[in-house]
Structure 1
């Protein structure tokens, strides 16, 4: 049985000021590597999976250090390409109290944004893969990167590889003229498992849903409305057999309510509502959801409720870990459960 996961997307370098300072304050930046698909790869490796990450990095010390960072965490990087002039970056101003976080991207002309179809040996990479994980971010950064994403999808279909898709809609990245909703829906029509947060679901499907306004774990979900909503989605995109929606209500920067819904085989399941009072870093929480679900599908193949609860627990623990990567272990996740 094939067991390898493959993730494809851009590795980023994240810059922040220390101690919750604004970008306009202080003299020093701290830096960490991250990026949605790399985050998923690291989480899967931390949980003991065989996972390979595919990207393109500049042939510079910054690019090679990024690859080494991933390899130290157990990610197979043998098919990372080198070329181009720079790594994509972003600047993050952490949330504090009632002040929201702020993200500023600087990714134009990055090595990964210049990736093109034909550069990546997808047949070699995917020949022994079980799952290809992609996200909407890779299709957003450039036309050539979007074309490379669809090339990967074509070869995954040819080889019978399952596709896991994270919507990851980032409005500010779509600058090259493509229609983001149309492009993302085209990817969705070709995936087997889809993840997104509630706002991304609404954007992609142009349909309002009941708001998640929990302020404690006793909040009652409107399950009948959600069930009808997911049933209609599945009729429109019948290939996708599992729909995972993460839901978060932010009471304050360090106090979040987190839950999730999973539609699978015509059944809608809900996870507990986790009241997280002590959030350290909410970056990569969605990626932890996706990685947790991919791991749980293999670890608990006959228990959909456990799959959902496991993915929520993995995501919950990510809120306690600085940086983009979820460094929680399987033992820690199952202990939280």
Structure 2
């Protein structure tokens, strides 16, 4: 079984109940999350061998966070402990025409203070098949960014495949680095990647056809997308698989969702999911990424299934509260078979 290592900051999420604003009420609910941890939990739920690397405070909160992932099947034995606090964020859920709001509190966290040389990457990656990172791993502090590129250097040295989620979060880039240039540098080092349509457009500074579907009958402009992806691949030839998630918020609880997968010169188009009862959209991109990584090994060489499976996993995440996608392989495959039928094929443009 392939071994996948994910690396990033584990967070404690505080959310308001019943769509209250942050200024309302006197109670928050708490859950653990964070992009790379979300990917790890999704993979563990699907039965994959996954190890999560981070730095947490050596106190009851830090150990509880690690144990939470361990109970969900993630290997956390080599989590690094030190520092004084865990990073947190506060979520005000969307409602009607009101967008969600996120407030980060990550400065001075155990991960923020991470430095190159602290993590024994050669020991961790010597038997790994994949290292997964995201733009957030480099966004927190200069030291964390340096530690991220240290991991990428050693992964290259050891021949470990790199997967990457753009994960651009404007509010996190406070330490003076150029976010776009840093994330482009990471993109040039990856073998497979995910991003939503807005992140793709931002990092590549190219306009693309808008996704404005209000139901599943929307027609995609595939010729324009194909030219767009071909150009991207010429700029970043190392990356062989590009998965782009596309979501339109018809209303706060009604989203349409689809994806495109560019792989080895082909652009695969997925049907559009119409999701009228969104419960929690946090972590949908991480569910996409986990679906792509899982299907790479579960369905080798079957790019249609990779797209099919990744989209179904992301659609399922919309129905699950919290950051983690706890949908099982059987549940995701049931969605795939219901949506597409056992003998159906994706449309492919060459």
Query: TM-score, normalised on structure 1?
Result: 0.99
- Please give the alpha-carbon distance, in whole angstroms, between the structure 1 residues aligned to 2:223 and 2:190: 25
- What's the C-alpha RMSD, in Å, of the aligned pairs? 0.6
Aligned partner of 1:268 in structure 2 is: 267
Aligned partner of 2:131 in structure 1 is: 132
Alignment of 1:32-71 (within 5 A): 32-71=31-70
Aligned partner of 1:314 in structure 2 is: 313
Q: After TM superposition, what 4+ stretches of structure 1 lie above 4 angstroms from structure 2?
A: none
SS at match of 1:244: strand
Aligned partner of 2:215 in structure 1 is: 216
Aligned partner of 1:182 in structure 2 is: 181
Cα-to-partner distance string for 1:78-103 (whole Å, 9 max, x where unaligned): 11000001100000000112211100
Aligned partner of 1:197 in structure 2 is: 196
Aligned length: 336
Aligned partner of 2:341 in structure 1 is: none
Cα-to-partner distance string for 1:148-189 (whole Å, 9 max, x where unaligned): 000000000000000000000000100000000100000111
Aligned-pair CA distance for 1:275:
0.2
Aligned partner of 1:296 in structure 2 is: 295
- Please give the alpha-carbon distance, in whole angstroms, between the structure 1 residues aligned to 2:295 and 2:248: 25
Aligned partner of 2:155 in structure 1 is: 156
Aligned-pair CA distance for 1:294:
0.3
- Please give the alpha-carbon distance, in whole angstroms, between the structure 1 residues aligned to 2:6 and 2:187: 16
Structure 1: unaligned runs, 5 residues or longer? none
- Please give the alpha-carbon distance, in whole angstroms, between the structure 2 residues aligned to 1:293 and 1:302: 12
- Please give the alpha-carbon distance, in whole angstroms, between the structure 2 residues aligned to 1:19 and 1:172: 25
Aligned partner of 1:249 in structure 2 is: 248
User: Do residues 112 (structure 1) and 111 (structure 2) align?
Assistant: yes
Aligned-pair CA distance for 1:114:
0.7
Cα-to-partner distance string for 1:188-215 (whole Å, 9 max, x where unaligned): 1110001100110111100000000000
Aligned-pair CA distance for 1:230:
0.5
- Please give the alpha-carbon distance, in whole angstroms, between the structure 2 residues aligned to 1:17 and 1:247: 27
SS at match of 1:53: strand
Aligned partner of 2:95 in structure 1 is: 96
Aligned partner of 1:14 in structure 2 is: 13
- Please give the alpha-carbon distance, in whole angstroms, between the structure 1 residues aligned to 2:171 and 2:12: 18
Query: TM-score, normalised on structure 2?
Result: 0.95
Aligned partner of 1:259 in structure 2 is: 258
